[in-house]
Amino acid sequence: MIRYSLVCEHEHEFDGWFSSSSAFDEQAVSGDVACPQCGSTKVRKGLMAPNVSGTKKSKPRGPVDQQQMVNMMTALRKHVEENCDYVGDKFADVARRIHYEEEPARAIYGEATLDEARDLIEEGVDVAPLPVTSPKQAN
């Protein structure tokens, strides 16, 4: 089996397993390989690093420190809040207008319902939830 890193026409990345290189080519041409995020069948192989074992034994990574993870999530949220425009509960509408070039492109954040976020993803609008760093916060 061969594992390929794949990319769809909308730049969504995902992995696929194939019995051979020609199996991927045949399935891609026939439209049998589809992006799990948007369903596009226009898929190509992405860049992959070969899995080569070295002579040095690498140290196994230990469990991620919970406080370190919280610190990273807090830093990400702070970066977004300091560098993006807050649009509140109008997030879905503004994101859609930016996507369709009805207003200037810019980085935004705000609130959206699960249904609004799902609709945006189905339309090809790139969205991602911000990490919640305290029980009082919600996306």
What are the structural domain ranges in the chain?
2-45, 66-122
Per-residue pLDDT at 95: 94
Pairing relationship of beta strands 85-86 and 108-109 according to DSSP bridges: parallel
Q: Is the dihedral of CA 66, 71, 72, 76 positive or negative?
A: positive
Mean pLDDT by 10 residues, the chain (139 residues): 85 85 86 87 78 60 74 87 93 94 93 91 88 59
Closest C-alpha to 107, from 122, 86, 132, 78 = 86
DSSP letters spanning 105-128: ---EE----HHHHHHHHHTT----
Amino acid, single-letter form, for residue 85: D
Per-residue pLDDT at 139: 44
Cβ-contact 112, 105 below 8 angstroms: no
Per-residue pLDDT at 52: 58
Site of tokens 């959206």 = 112
Per-residue pLDDT at 18: 81
Supply the pTM of this predicted model.
Answer: 0.50
Per-residue pLDDT at 4: 83
96 vs 118: CA distance, rounded Å: 12
Cβ count near 102 (within 10 Å): 9
Per-residue pLDDT at 38: 86
Query: How many Å from the N-terminal Cα to the C-terminal Cα in the chain?
Result: 40
